[in-house]
Amino acid sequence: MLKQLTVRNVSLVTFLDIRFEAGLPVITGESGAGKSILLGALGLVLGERASADIVRPGTDRADVTAEFDLSRSERCTNALKEQELIDMDAPERCLVRRVVSADGRSRAFVNGTPVTLTVLRETVDGLVDIHGQDENQRLANRAVQLDLLDDFGVAAKDLTGMHRSYHAWQNASAAASRLAQSLTSAADRRALLEYQLQELDDLALFDGEFETLKAEFKRSSSVHQIIETVRTVGEALEELGSLRQAHKLLETIDDDHPALVAARDAMLTAVEITDDVSRDLRDYEDTLEINPEKLLECEARLDLIHDLARKHRVRPEALPAHHVSLRAELSTLSSNEGNLADLQAEMEKQRKDFLATAKKVSTQRRTSADTFCTQVSTAMNTLGIKGGNLAVAFNPRESEHGLEDIEFLITTNPKYPQAPLNRIASGGERARISLAIQIVAAEKTALPCLVLDEADVGVGGTAADIIGRLLKNLGVHTQVICVTHAPQVAALGEHHMQVSKNADQDTWITTLETPARIDELARMLAGANITDKTRDYAQTLLDEAGNPTVH
């Protein structure tokens, strides 16, 4: 319910701090006093678009704050938790603030945290339903209409079972689709792997072969120059005979002086190294072979290895490891056809479960729709719409909500065809039709706070009294804030607030105690000519309403 509304610098309002009670609070006042300003301020905290012209002239911003009690709104409480906007000190309270600057820019806050306009609307959605001459925020929504009908006449367990089986069906269907797509991809991948492995099998490259071939090709391609160089070096080594002669001469010196011994040893090492070099070069030369055909074969294999490495996007020396990796991947691929069959069977089972429960729900909807329509039609006539009638149109559409969606169709005049609620020509009729639907739905549905802007327009006397009593009964189930010009309705309100203008023509609101309330009801009855007779009649209205004093 709406507990508090604080308004600063909105149009003709300097400052208002209004506390709302449960049940049926009524708001009255002369035309032009500013009742619409209050509704506009409430619209701001509900996420309506703002413009600079709502800011009181001479001020830099308009500021509206509303406090809501969420103890009966699990959906809004959950929305606050999801957005991390919950007030941990008071989780059942929601403070919504809207600030509009003189340049038209606006900011929104929920429990003190800045939010976007979209988040604001999502948070307060379902808290307040405004019924006015030209607006109905909620009941024109076909999803809301379906919820009302389901709450009225469909077993909750069947709705829960239908929703559960629908989502299970959709989940199984999505899983089967993903697996089928995976199988298709796996088949494509398997074909590619088999082709790639065949190429690598044909190549039959073993570890280290590429490096060996590379070295062999490098040697063979320059074998002529290598042989020539080796022979030149060998000839140079053969010319080192003087080195051996020098070593023999040193051996003839009979002296053990350390320097001489070191020189003889070094000379011997030089001779031995020279002999080793000559021997190694001869061995190396023996391995050199001028073989053009072998060179061409080596070059061709290297070209094949490079081509395949580029194709597989790996380095040539990594091809053997890549070959092993591809074979391992191929061996791990499985068709999963058995899993797909299981999923398809589960999908079909859940679909059958959904259809079975959805048919039960559909039967209950169609059965309860007759009673719902009869009761709403009766309420419409009671509210002054003579000949008014509600019908429910069922349109086939498979979804989580069942096998159909619905739409409320209204007849207000037998001469005209049925039409959706939001296309009813008269704003007053639209408000009262919505009220009739709310009255019938109230006993079985958790309704939001209802704000009725002159829902009793065009009716008076007995009809107004009937509307007032219906509203008072509705107030047992939800908060009903009623802006009214009908004294019979105002007398039935459990809390009475009067909107007026002060000496500066600023809008003001006052909670009326008994004497002032009698005067206000007398004014509503007789206008400016208040007499003792009209005061007595006002007191009679309060007595008949069961409100001899103001609570």
pLDDT tens digits, 95-117: 999 999 998 899 999 999 999 99
The CA-CA-CA angle for residues 536, 542, 543, to 5°, reads: 85
Bridging pattern class, strands 507-511 and 495-501: antiparallel
DSSP state of 56: P
Q: Are 361 and 154 in contact (CB under 8 A)?
A: yes
Backbone angles phi, psi at 27, to 5 degrees: -125, 125
Q: Are 550 and 510 in contact (CB under 8 A)?
A: no
Bridging pattern class, strands 106-110 and 25-29: unpaired
Bridging pattern class, strands 25-29 and 13-19: unpaired
pLDDT at residue 402 is higher than 90: yes
Q: Are 200 and 308 in contact (CB under 8 A)?
A: yes
pLDDT tens digits, 453-471: 876 665 666 777 888 888 8
| pTM of this structure | 0.59
Tell me the DSSP string of 441-462. HTTTS---EEEEESTTTT--HH
Which tokens belong to 491? 């007398």
CA 241 – CA 244 distance, rounded (Å): 5
pLDDT band for 123, please (50, 70, 90 cuts). confident
Q: What percent of the chain has pLDDT over 70?
A: 94
Q: Give the pLDDT score at 460.
A: 62
pLDDT tens digits, 499-532: 988 777 788 888 898 888 999 999 988 877 788 8
CA 23 – CA 5 distance, rounded (Å): 17
Q: Give the pLDDT score at 404.
A: 95
Q: Give the pLDDT score at 550.
A: 40
Q: Compute the half-sphere exposure of residue 342: CA atoms within 13 Å on the CB side of its CA.
A: 5
DSSP helix/strand/coil, 256 = coil
Which tokens belong to 27? 């708001």
Mean pLDDT of 79-92: 86
The CA-CA-CA angle for residues 102, 104, 106, to 5°, reads: 100
Which of 24-28, 385-389, 426-430 shows the lowest per-residue confidence on average (mean pLDDT)?
A: 426-430
CA 450 – CA 485 distance, rounded (Å): 17
Which tokens belong to 244? 């051996």
Bridging pattern class, strands 2-10 and 419-420: unpaired
CA 6 – CA 150 distance, rounded (Å): 37
Q: Which residue has the higher pLDDT, 84 or 72?
A: 84
Q: Are 175 and 312 in contact (CB under 8 A)?
A: no
Helices 292-312, 156-203: inter-axial angle, 10-degree rounding: 170
CB atoms within 10 A of CB 197: 15
Q: Are 102 and 59 in contact (CB under 8 A)?
A: yes
Domains located in the chain, CATH noted: 1-138+448-511 (3.40.50.300), 181-332 (no CATH), 514-551 (no CATH)
pLDDT at residue 33 is higher than 50: yes
Residue 496: which of 474, 515, 473, 477 has the closest Cα? Answer: 515
Q: Give the pLDDT score at 471.
A: 84
Mean pLDDT of 52-81: 88
Cβ contacts of 346 within 8 Å, gap of 6 or more: 172
Q: Which helix (H) or strand (E) holds 496?
A: strand 495-501
Burial of 375 (0-12, 13-18, 19+ CB in 10 A): middle
CA 515 – CA 476 distance, rounded (Å): 26
CA 53 – CA 49 distance, rounded (Å): 12
Q: Give the pLDDT score at 547.
A: 63
pLDDT tens digits, 481-494: 988 888 988 999 88
Backbone Cα Rg of the chain: 47
Q: What percent of the chain has pLDDT over 90?
A: 25
Q: Which residue has the higher pLDDT, 249 or 355?
A: 355
Q: Give the pLDDT score at 551.
A: 36
Map tokens 């070191």 to a residue: 262
Mean pLDDT comparison of 34-43, 91-100, 214-223, highest-scoring range? 91-100
CA 484 – CA 520 distance, rounded (Å): 12
Positive or negative torsion for Cα 473, 476, 480, 485 = positive
Q: Which residue has the higher pLDDT, 131 or 202?
A: 202
Bridging pattern class, strands 495-501 and 25-29: parallel
Map tokens 């003190």 to a residue: 112
Map tokens 């299970």 to a residue: 168
Which tokens belong to 392? 């429910």
For the chain, the straight-line distance linking the first and the last C-alpha, in angstroms and rounded, comes to 18
DSSP state of 535: H
Cβ contacts of 264 within 8 Å, gap of 6 or more: 247, 250, 251
pLDDT band for 496, please (50, 70, 90 cuts). very high
Q: Which residue has the higher pLDDT, 28 or 291?
A: 28
Map tokens 């719409």 to a residue: 385
CA 542 – CA 549 distance, rounded (Å): 8
Q: How many helices (H) and strands (E) does the chain have?
A: 17, 15
Q: Which residue has the higher pLDDT, 456 or 540?
A: 540
pLDDT band for 427, please (50, 70, 90 cuts). low
CA 517 – CA 270 distance, rounded (Å): 131
Residue 271: which of 255, 298, 249, 256 has the closest Cα? Answer: 249
CA 231 to chain centre: 83
Q: Which residue has the higher pLDDT, 362 or 16?
A: 362
pLDDT tens digits, 128-162: 877 765 555 567 888 889 988 998 999 989 999 99
CA 309 – CA 323 distance, rounded (Å): 11
Q: Which residue has the higher pLDDT, 527 or 316?
A: 316
CA 129 – CA 140 distance, rounded (Å): 11
